[in-house]
Amino acid sequence: MKFIDEFRNKEIAQGLIRRIFEVSTRPIHLMEVCGTHTVSFFRYGIREMLPKHIRLLSGPGCPVCVTPNQDIDLAIALSRRDDVLLATFGDMMRVPGSTSSLQKEKAEGRRIRIVYSPLEALRLAKENPEKKVVFLAVGFETTSPAIATTLLQAHDEGIPNLHFLNSQKRVPPALRALLESEKVQIHGLILPGHVCTILGREPFEFISKEFNRPAVIAGFEPLDLLQAVWMLVNQIEKEQASVENQYTRVVRDQGNPVAVRKMEQAFEQDEALWRGLGWIPGSGCRQGSFQFHGRPPDRGGR
């Protein structure tokens, strides 16, 4: 608890707010990429603390909210098959598809299991060899390493009845698509700390090098967010553009090479459909050609 309190210190927060007011002179739009950052900004009332000319924009958010209807509809259709047992993270249960939701389907007796780790789907496949166990694989780079590890383990153990319905997303290509859009005016980006824990800083350097925009990797406590805003404002006022790391207590420049290697072994980049954003090249995960099972039964199409 003492550790958390250090990042919620009132005096330090007031000092950062004063610095922001002293330095910031121009109207700017800052985008927080991560849904957890959006929640934290509201929870701690930080939006109201900042100068009126600093506008915070909410970015893609979380992998759940960008999962398209067609993937949810496919998961629902699969859950209605007698030979399928569908495994999913709990936060996908209430997300509406076109006509139903997984929560509604489960209430009507479909074989849907909530899991807290992809490895639980592997266990379900072993315990139910007569069923096709389909894991609805949703997540950004934060959860993709665990999904990749499970897929690789299933392959190594020769588990033929575990399938993956991939709806995973890659964050850097989505940011590139946003920055390329003429309709979106972004002066600086607050990058997701947990995704950067896996990827590191290098995959995001195109933001400053190609688009001349500053970006800051940030944590999720009030002082993390205020410091990130101050770092962005400082760069903007000096007309500088670089990718800085505020979240140094967790994020390393090289990220987590082991986790990245697992993702590269299991997946290939592919285009992906994002709810609200459309098709984005290179932003999806297609399972590598090494596995012999892996695709959901009768998926067809993409």
Q: Are residues 45 and 103 in the same domain?
A: no
pLDDT on residue 166: 93
Q: Are residues 11 and 59 in the same domain?
A: yes
pLDDT on residue 271: 95
Residue 64 has which token pair?
A: 């759940």
Residue where a domain terminates, one of 168, 201, 223: 168
Helix (H) / strand (E) element for 199: namely helix 193-199
Look at strands 162-168 and 84-89 and give their pairing. Answer: unpaired
Q: Residue type for 236, please? A: I
Q: Are residues 90 and 238 in the same domain?
A: no
Residue 275 has which token pair?
A: 């709810």
Q: Are residues 27 and 100 in the same domain?
A: no
CATH number at residue 115: 3.40.50.11740
- pLDDT category of residue 3 using cuts at 50, 70 and 90: low
pLDDT on residue 289: 59
Q: Are residues 220 and 86 in the same domain?
A: no
Q: Who contacts 100 (Cβ-Cβ below 8 Å, separation ≥6)? A: 76
Q: How far apart are CA 30 and CA 191, in angstroms?
A: 11
pLDDT in tens, 242-259: 999 999 999 999 999 999
Check pLDDT > 90 for residue 7: no
Q: Are residues 177 and 162 in the same domain?
A: no
Residue 91 lies in a domain: yes
pLDDT in tens, 290-300: 544 444 444 43
CATH number at residue 231: 3.40.50.11750
pLDDT on residue 2: 54
Q: Are residues 162 and 175 in the same domain?
A: no
Check pLDDT > 60 for residue 165: yes
Q: Are residues 208 and 176 in the same domain?
A: yes
Q: Are residues 42 and 189 in the same domain?
A: yes
Q: Are residues 104 and 157 in the same domain?
A: yes
Q: What is the mean pLDDT of residues 212-235?
A: 97
pLDDT in tens, 56-67: 999 998 999 999
Residue 221 lies in a domain: yes
pLDDT on residue 293: 45
Q: Output the DSSP codes for 113-151.
A: EEESSHHHHHHHHHH-TTSEEEEEEEE-TTTHHHHHHHH
pLDDT in tens, 94-140: 999 999 999 999 999 999 999 999 999 999 999 999 999 999 999 99
- pLDDT category of residue 183 using cuts at 50, 70 and 90: confident
In the chain, the number of structural domains is: 2
pLDDT in tens, 25-43: 999 999 999 999 999 999 9
Helix (H) / strand (E) element for 171: namely helix 171-180
Average pLDDT of the residues of the chain: 92
Q: Which residue bears the tokens 């399972």?
A: 287
Q: Who contacts 162 (Cβ-Cβ below 8 Å, separation ≥6)? A: 121, 122, 125, 133, 135, 154, 293
Q: Are residues 85 and 130 in the same domain?
A: yes
Q: How far apart are CA 115 and CA 90, in angstroms?
A: 7
pLDDT on residue 6: 76
Long-range contacts formed by 258-266: CB under 8 A, 24+ apart: 259/145, 259/198, 260/145, 260/198, 260/199, 262/145, 262/148, 262/149, 262/152, 263/141, 263/144, 263/145, 263/148, 265/148, 265/152, 265/290, 266/147, 266/148, 266/149, 266/151, 266/152
Q: Are residues 55 and 84 in the same domain?
A: no
Residue 272 lies in a domain: no
Residue 153 lies in a domain: yes
85 lies in which domain range? 69-168
Residue 113 lies in a domain: yes
Q: 48: burial class by Cβ within 10 Å (0-12, 13-18, 19+)?
A: exposed
Check pLDDT > 60 for residue 1: no
Residue 22 lies in a domain: yes
